[in-house]
Structure 1
Amino acid sequence: MPRGSSSKRERQYEHIKESAEERGAGTKRAKEMAARTVNKERARSGEAKTASKSSTQGKSASQRGGQRSGGGGGGGAGGETYDQLYAEAKRRNIHGRSSMNKSELKRSLES
């Protein structure tokens, strides 16, 4: 955390870091995620001396509700990855899956 951060931001950093570690992120990655999130929130609220354009415009992470976060499960524009579709096809024992592309896997899983 940068020097001069408020106790609120310190708590927010620790909470985000601990949550990321609980979800399986490594310590280094958890610290990076927490620092980036807190710094962005500081920029949005005018607590930072400098801020990038992307930090001050658009929806905040809390408003987005994870819309741009990673992971599959639909919801996003891309949907599931090829690997996720292939794994589901394998689980359902769909024949010919190894020679299918992403759209073919998707179609075979929908039927």
Structure 2
Amino acid sequence: MPRGDKSKYTAKQQRKAEHIEESYEERGVSEKEAEARAWATVNKQSGGGERSGGSGKKKSATAKRADRKDSAHRAAQSRKGDSPNKGSASSSASKSGSTSLADMTRDELMQKARERDIRGRSKMRKDELLRALS
């Protein structure tokens, strides 16, 4: 069993861990490894046990949501074969300024929008930034 006392987890978190564990076992992962992965997933998604008591270093709901979104984004990138740390031709070209707006990343578009002081840029998606900048 993974380290730590599981008494601080809610019933919902425990059910979620059991479900994830069963899923891993169906895919051929050993029972011990499946349980460890399941609890790691629950911790990643919810920030750990949610019942009162414990370490006292709780994440806000907003921070938890941001972590889940970031985790999902990185997982989607890895499924596509992209690595967030890999340098691509488009990112190196955009630094030299010889690329179109459509080839830029959202972060690069956000920087251009910041330079042009475009209102509402922080809530814009990439396609909205493209329209606002062009």
Q: What is the TM-score normalised by the length of structure 1?
A: 0.47
Between structure 1 and structure 2, the one with the greater Rg is 2
Structure scoring higher RCO (CA < 8 A, sep ≥ 6) equals 2
Query: Quick check: which one's helix share is greater?
Result: 2
